[in-house]
């Protein structure tokens, strides 16, 4: 083996080891700020229903998730409340939340929680990260079944591409969808696969831990039922620039 090849292999091994150690430390810092999003029903069974993931920002009282994760209606007769779940496993706790800002076009929602502030994540700047950037995201894939145990996936930004919403039937096309096709906004396409429950997860820079996007959807080749056994989907994330815009609109400090 030539010296050049040996040197190249050593450099690659060193780079891989450094990237791994950085991710270990980053995940350790990220996890306390990762929360579950769902509904709390004090009179029901089950009392807690987990719909997706979220993350804490600002002064520790604000939580970001996808707008599609938020329950459309709460049953007042059952005293249902929008909830943020903190902690892990059987030690999970319920924090009552209020929806204070929504951007349905970019699938972003901001909640405010009561009680003591939680550890908050830092947001990256509004500029797009370049393709090939190393990223990770932490949330609760299949959380409704597996429970509140944070899971981390890693990968790279595969592309910065216009957002698309495929439909099976032309009758599903709405005026809003046609407008979006005329003037689409850019999103991140990832080479890491998200699962049901990952919606709302923070996508962050492996090196800095700063949030650069919000996981919001995955397209699967077959059906939603086979996404676990055949994880062949393409994952997308909403760039943090749109979160910055929503925060500025509602005068919320990040």
Does the pLDDT at position 161 exceed 70?
A: yes
HEC assignment per residue over 91-137: HCEEEEEEEEEEECCCCEEEEEECCCCCCCCCECCCCCCCCCCEEEE
Closest CA relative to residue 227, chosen from 191, 194, 188, 189: 194
CA distance 154 to 148: 19
Q: Which of 147, 138, 149, 151 is nearest to 50 (CA)?
A: 147
Residue 228, pLDDT above cutoff 90: no
Average of per-residue pLDDT across 22-36: 93
Omega cis (within 30) before 208: no
Band (pLDDT 50/70/90 cuts) for residue 188 is very high
What beta strand segments (E) does the chain contain?
34-40, 48-57, 62-65, 81-86, 93-103, 108-113, 134-139, 151-162, 186-190, 202-205, 211-219, 234-239
Q: Which residue is listed with tokens 């086979």? A: 226
Q: What is the pTM of this model?
A: 0.82
Q: Distance (Å, rounded) from C-alpha 174 to C-alpha 179? A: 9
Query: At residue 210, does pLDDT exceed 80?
Result: yes
User: Which of these, 222, 230, 204, 216, lies nearest to 26 by C-alpha position?
Assistant: 204
Mean pLDDT, residues 189-212 taken together? 93
List the CATH code of the domain at 134-249.
2.40.10.10
At 169 the pLDDT is 44
Query: Please, which pLDDT band fits residue 224 given cuts at 50, 70 and 90?
Result: very low
Give the 3-state secondary structure percentages of the chain, helix then strand then coil, rounded to 5. 25, 35, 40
Higher pLDDT, 161 or 9: 161
pLDDT, one tens digit per residue, over 105-116 is: 899 999 999 889
By the 8 A CB rule, do 33 and 119 touch? yes
- The answer to whether residue 167 scores a pLDDT higher than 90 is no
Give the residue from 79, 114, 74, 118 showing the smallest Cα distance to 96: 114
């Amino acid at each position: 083996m030539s010296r050049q090849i040996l040197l190249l292999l050593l450099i690659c091994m060193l780079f891989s080891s450094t990237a791994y150690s950085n991710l270990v430390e980053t995940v350790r810092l990220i996890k306390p700020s990762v929360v579950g999003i769902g509904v709390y029903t004090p009179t029901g069974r089950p009392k807690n229903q987990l719909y997706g993931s979220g993350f804490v920002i600002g002064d520790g009282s604000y939580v970001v998730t996808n707008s599609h994760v938020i329950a459309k209606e709460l049953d007042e007769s059952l005293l249902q409340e929008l909830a943020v779940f903190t902690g892990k496993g059987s030690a999970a706790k319920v924090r009552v939340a209020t929806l204070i800002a929504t951007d349905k076009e970019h699938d972003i929602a901001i909640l405010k929680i009561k009680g003591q502030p939680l550890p908050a994540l830092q947001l990256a700047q509004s500029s797009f990260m370049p393709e090939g950037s190393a990223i990770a995201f932490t949330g609760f894939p299949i959380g409704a079944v597996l429970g509140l145990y944070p899971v981390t996936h890693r990968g790279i930004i595969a592309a910065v591409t216009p957002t698309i919403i495929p439909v099976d039937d032309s009758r599903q096309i709405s005026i809003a969808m046609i407008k979006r096709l005329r003037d689409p906004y850019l999103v991140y396409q990832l080479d890491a696969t998200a699962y049901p429950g990952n919606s709302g997860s923070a996508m962050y820079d492996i090196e800095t831990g700063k949030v650069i996007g919000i996981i919001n959807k995955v397209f699967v080749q077959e059906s939603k039922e086979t996404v676990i056994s055949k994880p062949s989907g393409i994952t997308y994330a909403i760039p943090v620039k749109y979160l910055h815009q929503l925060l500025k609109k509602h005068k919320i400090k990040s």
